[in-house]
Structure 1
Amino acid sequence: MFQIDLVTKCKQNDRKAQLKLYKQYCDGMFCVAMRFLKNEDDAEDVLQESFIKAFEKIHQFKGEVTFGAWLKRIVVNRCIDFLKSRKERLVALDENYMQLVEDDDWTVEEETTVDEVKQAIAALPDKYKFVVQLYLMEGYDHEEISGILGITANTCRTRLLRGKGFLRNILKEKAYGTGS
């Protein structure tokens, strides 16, 4: 059965079609949730909530993107909402007045492993971590990230630039043994 047929049947509340879509996407979406939440129980909870929301809102799916991309956005938003609800303290900084210089150089020391980069991203403050993670690991652009996080594209660029600076410092400290 083709994906569009499954989606059409899901729109008709067909439970078998919903189960097929769930089985098709649950592992991949679990990996997305784990990259954000770093906890299997939390990732499973958010994943279940995401599928429930997706099936409740499936009539809004117009096929402009793949079902997987549409679902991934729901999972990412649920992960961010979950993390925000766990950390009620938010510091508002107005970053819209800053001048930006685009920097597309993401190179790191050759000895740096992917796991070290992931650990360094996890150590970033949330407002930078989410932007860096969405940009580097999930492949979203500034406009998409700003839509997901509810920030301006300029704020997104600023946070990405600052996040990259923090990331480089964390990796540099680790490389030179000055980190904890």
Structure 2
Amino acid sequence: MKSTKQFHQKLIRACQKNDKKAQLQLYKSYSKAMFLVAYRYVKDQFLAEDIMQEAFIKAFKNITSYKGEVSFGAWLKKIVINQSIDELKKKKLVMVSINSEIHKVQEENSTWEIDNSVTSQMIIEAINKQKEKYRLVLTLYLLEGYDHKEISEILGITEVTSRTHLMRGKKLIKEHLKFTNHAEGY
């Protein structure tokens, strides 16, 4: 047990000197366990792999701050957990933003009624299929939360043009979603 601890300490010192072979050995020692930690949080194999990779990159970049007060595994696990939580927050913020903006659009324009079977993903796909002038305004307004003044500054158009593109874009999305739902038998 003591020899394993000494071996890991030797590896960590080598990693602090940017030794790539030592980094690879530490990675091999901890990657499976750290993948499982990430997977417990995100429930997605590919995302867990990405998180684990990012956590190792962050750990190796900041390994000089590791002082040995806790085991290296515990230190690394904390990085993986924080990375996982950050990823979940990003996903949640995107979904909350999209969902709240969809409802906001419904409130702003009573003719903007969508069927309950329409998902946020379907709306995003419909936005992405629009002409660029509509897609940009729709994305900035609905998904990013910019107002017409900010959109006009970003795109170099007037606020009136921004409002017009939004109104026409929403109409096109509504038509697209109706067509998609009818084509799929809804």
TM-score (norm 2): 0.47
TM-score (norm 1): 0.49
